[in-house]
Amino acid sequence: MTAADRRYAVLFDRDGVLNVDHGYAHRPDQLEWIDGAKAAVAALNRAGVLVLVVTNQSGVARGYYGEADVDGFHAAMQEDLAGEGAQIDGFYICPYLADAPVEQYRHPDHPDRKPNPGMLVRALQDFAVEPANALMIGDRESDMQAAAAAGVAGHRFHGGDLAAFLERILAGTDFPR
């Protein structure tokens, strides 16, 4: 495979990285973008880099909202991004939790629940991206552990402008820009 044939992806955690973490965000009216998040997604899209979201959604397992609500929130994100000429290429959620009050989402250690790498591995397989050609941006140690377990470089976002943060990271890679 030549360099031109490679597919690249940036995997983002959702709450606290793309949108402000207000705690169990699931309604479109709760969507508040992190500074620079829409610009970061748009820049990646223009460069031909896949944008994938991998997010634990324990609010589903806790009975606070359903998977359809998560889908609605993601649709609102896509609608906002479309106004910027941008999109997220794939959403991966893990609604499972070890001590979930909602029995159908109770699992002692679901392979998709970060820090396990299941969502990341599946996303990369679905989009035919080699782990060496992917980055994970998250705000928690569990995101970094999932990235390491999937063989993906992890970068911890501590707030600020996401586009500027991403540009600093990409400057040290062979990712297209």
Instruction: Establish whether 15 is a catalytic residue.
Output: yes
Give the active site residue among 5, 15, 139, 174: 15
CA distances from 83 to 38, 75, 135 (A): 10, 13, 25
Does the annotation count 13 as an active-site position?
Answer: yes
What is the 3-class SS of the chain, one letter each residue?
Answer: CCHHHCCCEEEECCECCCECCCCCCCCHHHCCECCCHHHHHHHHHHHCCEEEEEEECHHHHCCCCCHHHHHHHHHHHHHHHHCCCCCCCEEEEECCECCCCCHHHECCCCCCCCCCCHHHHHHHHHCCCCHHHEEEEECCHHHHHHHHHHCCEEEECCCCCHHHHHHHHHCCCCCCC
List 5, 13, 109, 139, catalytic entry: 13
Question: Active-site residues: which are they?
Answer: 13, 15
